[in-house]
Structure 1
Amino acid sequence: MLTYAYWNNKGGTGKTSLCFQSVTTYAHEHPDERILAIDVCPQANLSELMLGGLAHGGSTKLLALQGEATRRTIGGYFERRLPAPFSPPQISADAYISHPADHNNQIPQNIDLIAGDPLLELQSTAMSTLASTTVPGTNAWLAIIDWLKDLLDTIRDEYDVVFIDANPSFSIYTQVALSAADRLVLPVMADDSSRRAIQNAFSLVYGLKLPSAIYSQYAFATKLREANRALPKVHVIAKNRLTQYMGSASAYSAVLRSIDTDVSVLISQHPDMFNFTDTSEALVEVRDFQTAGVVAFARGCPFYAQRAGRADVMGRRVRVKDEYLQNCVNSLNMLVQKL
């Protein structure tokens, strides 16, 4: 079982939209594989898309999952762990897994979902407190960080690929998600803030260029390495939301070249952090989704299943141009081919 996490510490990079389109496209192209999507985000936008989007009651369906006697969400699973946080209980993963195709006929039948949950924000405080507890003979921090890994270990033979949509933060539930991942998909945008975000991401996940040595002992990477645990490797860097008309437009080209240079330097200095040896192997340019994205995400619809032309979105008529839609499909295919 191979696990991908979609994450960037910077918000607005299109992480969830890329994750949704990647999961559905991958599942569509690999119908014989079983796919699990895990939404480790309190906003639960990936879950809403999977369950039908704004136009088809995705939010209402998500609330129904959260309202079951045992919440059918990642929050429901974490709630199960809180009373005995340092030793895995008898875990029944089926209690937290749903089948989005039962709610949204655009989703491939081979995808299952563990939905997101706003409870994560409340649980984060409790999890952080527990992780700081002194327990003789127990690494309390690692015990909490392994909560998602514990769950995945129970279903490792049931799924081929897991996609995790992680929150744009470095809260403890995000650390739980990243520690369970084998590979990292890092979306960036063509601006200086995204360039800085790459540097911040490597500082947070891998402990690079910390402002002071005093932080090293508390760093995520330090704690995992001390426990002889592997960190996820950067697998794809997606240059997202480039202009639809010109690709990587001239206004952004200098920033994009700088991003390439920064990544090249990191590869040469820290090759163990990457799943590739050259930037060209992992960099993917993703066009701005524009109206095609608006329609896709309002309807919870993968690009490959979407049709060009006039569409109704919540009572408003919009037009999806065939050329732009095809650019979206091509971009996602290039990304998925690297998975």
Structure 2
Amino acid sequence: MPLEGSYAIWNNRGGSGKTTLTYHLANKFALKNPDKTILLIDMCPQTDLSHALLGDDEHNQDYVSQIGTMKKDPMVFGEQKFAKTVSGYLDLYSCQGLPGSVDPRTFLLNVSKFNAQLPRNLYLLCGDASIELIARSLDHKRNQTASVSPFGAHAWKSITTSLKQFIAKIAERKGIKLVAFIDVQSSCSIISEIGLAACDKLLIPITDDHLHRNGFEYMFALLYGFSQPSSVYYYHRHFSFYYRAKQYDVKLPKIHLILNKSHRTATTKNNQKEWEFIFEVYKKHPQAFNLAKESLELTTLEQFKSEFVISISEETSANQIVRQAVRSHSPLLTPKKNSNTNNNNNSNNGSSSNRNSSSNLVILSTSSSSRLKNPKIVRSASPSPNTRNASLPNVNANCVNKSSDALNENFSLIKQDCLSLNSNLLNEELSMYSQNEQTNAILYDEVLDKIVSSLDRT
């Protein structure tokens, strides 16, 4: 089946919270779409996303380092071994491309086999620290002449689209409805370029500190060649990503959403000029933005922001519970335990519910050790395996689609009647956090729902 969607979460500046967003967004999307296979790709050398998803083993050793150093379950091809990581795949690809005899699923990890708290339809192409070293080799190889390159005259395009080919080959598998999320390194290195070239749509998280004209000029110049801030960009354009992508017919992603994190105390006037600049870029280059309908005309800044901007307060996104969920490898919200509801779901759905709850993507594992569970992770808040992906309540309609005041007033009602904060993710009582922090965590989940809904926009 064709790829249903591929999204890169990227900002060319660090500190935007993209990894935290990727973690929670992928979990939310997987829970709301149990019939789809959700692929996460960690392109950052810090491997924070991979650590958050997998956690540690029973000896307090992190899985990511074991996988990256091939101490755990390497992929064997001929007489060579490759780590089941993004670097392992790129290392194999750089030698000769992706051999037809290699199933790319071999490189993937089913997250729930390491961390039973997370959805069973989440799969990870794990990050590792060696990606920066691999990047140097890849940059050399993609600039080789046709006479020495194993890719001939297509070296630059082949290597730049190596991850896109990986995703496409998985999506070809019968019965798979694949959606990919890529956590892209905060820079414009070759690794970032490979990640950006692999996706169709771009989610850009920003903060008040990032929201200034120079920052957006630089980003637009790097990725699209727009708004070049100085003559240097023009004279050296032959080395730029956008120029070479156009030269070799590499499709660049379209901006799908700008996720604006701002302080509640910030005034609208502070950033008005910056938003007006972004809107002017849109009016000059609408082809770089992913409009719901090509015929749709956005003639005002308010219309543009309604279509492309989702706002979230810094206080909500930096919430301690939101961060603790990542540190403890846990989901933010869990379905309220209700035996009657679970029994009804099981009786109504029958065997089809169980079929839908598991992904059609089968991991090709060479070792049973990949089935180890993480004993450090508290699991009592997770649904049982038979009901893990049972239908969730309509969050927007019944739970958190309320004003902040209403959430504060009715917080206990929300917890009782719908989704509850996952208290076990804290390894402490939830009451140790203030009601305001708990409310902000639910507000953060509401923003995730808005983002997930926007991803349906073609």
Q: What is the TM-score with the length of structure 2 in the denominator? A: 0.67
| Offset, 1:192 | 5.1
Pair 1:194–1:332, CA change in 2 (3 A):
farther
Distance in 2 separating the partners of 1:239 and 1:12: 13
Describe the SS at the equivalent of 1:139. Answer: helix
User: Which residue does the alignment assign to 1:153?
Assistant: 168
Distance in 2 separating the partners of 1:314 and 1:118: 32
Matches within 5 A, 1:314-333: 318-319=432-433, 321=435, 322-333=438-449
| Offset, 1:279 | 2.7
User: Which deviates more from structure 2 when the two are superposed, residues 183-192 or residues 285-294?
Assistant: 285-294
Is this contact kept in 2: 1:312–1:318, CA < 8 A? no
Pair 1:11–1:151, CA change in 2 (3 A):
same
Matches within 5 A, 1:239-254: 239-240=260-261, 242-243=262-263, 246=264, 249-251=265-267, 253-254=268-269
Describe the SS at the equivalent of 1:326. Answer: helix
Is this contact kept in 2: 1:310–1:319, CA < 8 A? no
User: Which residue does the alignment assign to 2:323?
Assistant: 294
Q: Which residue among 13, 17, 22 is the counterpart of 2:20?
A: 17
Is this contact kept in 1: 2:85–2:127, CA < 8 A? yes
Q: Which residue among 8, 12, 17 is the counterpart of 2:11?
A: 8
1:107 aligns with 2:118: yes
User: Which residue does the alignment assign to 1:34?
Assistant: 37
Pair 1:188–1:15, CA change in 2 (3 A):
same
User: Which residue does the alignment assign to 1:119?
Assistant: 130
1:165 aligns with 2:183: yes
Pair 1:263–1:291, CA change in 2 (3 A):
same
User: Which deviates more from structure 2 when the two are superposed, residues 134-143 or residues 113-122?
Assistant: 134-143
Q: What is the TM-score with the length of structure 1 in the denominator? A: 0.89
Which contiguous aligned blocks of 4+ residues in structure 1 show a shift greater than 6 angstroms? 54-59, 308-311
User: Which residue does the alignment assign to 2:245?
Assistant: 224
Distance in 1 separating the partners of 2:111 and 2:15: 25
Q: Which residue among 46, 57, 60 is the counterpart of 2:62?
A: 60
User: Which residue does the alignment assign to 2:454?
Assistant: 338
User: Which deviates more from structure 2 when the two are superposed, residues 37-46 or residues 64-73?
Assistant: 64-73
Describe the SS at the equivalent of 1:187. Answer: strand
Q: Percent identity?
A: 25
Distance in 1 separating the partners of 2:57 and 2:275: 39
Letter in 1 for 2:127: G
| Offset, 1:33 | 1.2
How many residues matched? Answer: 330
| Offset, 1:197 | 2.6
Pair 1:193–1:267, CA change in 2 (3 A):
closer
Distance in 2 separating the partners of 1:271 and 1:28: 33
Q: For structure 1, which runs of at least 5 residues remain unmatched after alignment? A: none
Deviations 1:172-231 (A, max 9, x none): 011011011100000100125655332221111111233332222222112122223321
Letter in 2 for 1:37: L
Kindly report the root-mean-square deviation, in angstroms, between the aligned alpha carbons of the 2 structures: 2.6
| Offset, 1:105 | 2.1
Q: For structure 2, which runs of at least 5 residues remain unmatched after alignment? A: 76-82, 292-297, 299-303, 335-419
User: Which deviates more from structure 2 when the two are superposed, residues 5-14 or residues 262-271?
Assistant: 262-271
Matches within 5 A, 1:268-307: 268-276=283-291, 277=298, 278-287=304-313, 288-305=317-334, 307=421
